[in-house]
Structure 1
């Protein structure tokens, strides 16, 4: 894909309006400066790509992502303003996924630790392998972070248990706790995530984009204000070609053809 042909730690392939982004930074897909810069570039490009409607994010090998590359810490601490620049880049690598206009499905194939756990949680939908797990190990290394993202997905008690103890929460537990939408054997993981992505890709593209925008903007709004905003989105969509095509296809009992406008 144009603009993504020189990646070193990520791989991107696209088919049928679904882009699959694979973190390929052996041995455990640790996140360093280059990794984060590439993540930002990939999601900016895919977010603007008219042919991409859904994104699947997964890891190569046995890990989804084992978190931050701690070998960078010494250099960061030794630079004037190093932590400020580092923290800004870390936030941007997460925000670009949350703010991407296209839905992002995390196919968690293995360990998702620390920053890797957060990277899974900022995705729209989680599908996990049975042997996968999420863990926030910051307390083991004298660090802090991820609390707000963990609170979005876990109950207050479970979030605190996870943060305070660095406990590993397995795939089946994540499914039971309603953190993940599906838990399947590893060999079925990408098929399951892609099947969900393909179903989303067949919906009215502009309506899916509007729905994701609503999730992001209304999360902390009062109910009345959030629903009022959603209604404005429906009114705007009513004037688009794709919404008119969807309604016509329904009346005519045929498969709609969407053009993204």
Structure 2
């Protein structure tokens, strides 16, 4: 399923590319967020998809929330609550989906666009990419809860309080962006990374991906105990058995996702 502002393509086995395409700057309005959540929910259920690439068309990855729509919010009772709920849904669905998500950012990732990228498992960026939280410039804020997962505290506070644009190379130096590439190489690299992940045991990938959020909230001892538990569980799976057979037979494993 695709929508007027979201495209879904399948360029490699078990890899889906979800492209935001809402000219001119891919700003997020409520219908686009609702469609985005619906597509992610569909991909969550599909056995023929094991990894997702999130990208965007045009020069800007995502300029954040649609300012025109935001300006009109509150005209009808319940508008603000509905808008807030859909915004949360878009971010948390990215975090909760069973499939890993590789984000390919070109141009600007601003405000909610930066948060979308931060909710993915890894960010690849083009050399001209930049990131910012410009809400302070219109007397607003929000998003630190997500960005603190990938940014050092001092950089997070500076970005939130100044609205400054930070080039991808700087966030790569800080570890928030995994790699910076020429624009022409960005999407192929993201698809190649997704294909590498998709070739692993889907049972193990799902379990490991699901553990990330839980482990983040736990202390060292509790978190590692949790990981030991699912590792023991995974070692008894059909995928693990196939992986061991393939290793000794010197061939690529053929995973069934069980």
Structure 1 and Structure 2 fold alike (TM over 0.5): yes
1:257 corresponds in structure 2 to: 254
Shift of 1:110: 1.4
| Equivalent of 1:176 in 173, 188, 197 | 173
**CA RMSD between the two structures:** 0.9
- Looking at structure 2, the residues matched to 144 and 79 of structure 1 have their Cα atoms a distance apart, in angstroms, of 23
- Once the two structures are TM-superposed, the CA of residue 191 in structure 1 deviates from its matched residue by 1.1
For normalisation by structure 1, the TM-score amounts to: 0.96
Give every structure 1 segment of 4 or more consecutive aligned residues whose post-TM-superposition deviation is greater than 2 Å: none
Gaps of 5+ in 2: none
Which residue number in structure 2 is paired with residue 137 of structure 1? Answer: 134
Q: State the shift of 1:173 in Å.
A: 1.0
- 2:238 equivalent in structure 1: 241
Which deviates more, 231-240 or 125-134?
A: 231-240
Q: Distance in 1 between matches of 2:140 and 2:48?
A: 40
Per the alignment, residue 8 of structure 1 pairs with 4
* Structure 2 partner of 1:62: 59
Q: How many residues align?
A: 257
Counterpart-to-counterpart distance in 1, 2:41 and 2:189:
25
Q: State the Cα distance separating 1:10 from its structure 2 match.
A: 0.3
Q: Secondary structure at the match of 1:78?
A: coil
Partner of 2:197: 200
| Residue from 21, 26, 29 that aligns with 1:29 | 26
The answer to whether the aligner puts 1:128 opposite 2:131 as a matched pair is no
Equivalent-residue separation in structure 2 for 1:97 and 1:167 (angstroms): 26
Q: Distance in 1 between matches of 2:112 and 2:252?
A: 41
TM-score (norm 2): 0.97
Q: What does 1:93-132 align with in structure 2 at a 5 Å threshold?
A: 93-132=90-129
Tell me the CA shift for residue 170 of structure 1.
0.7
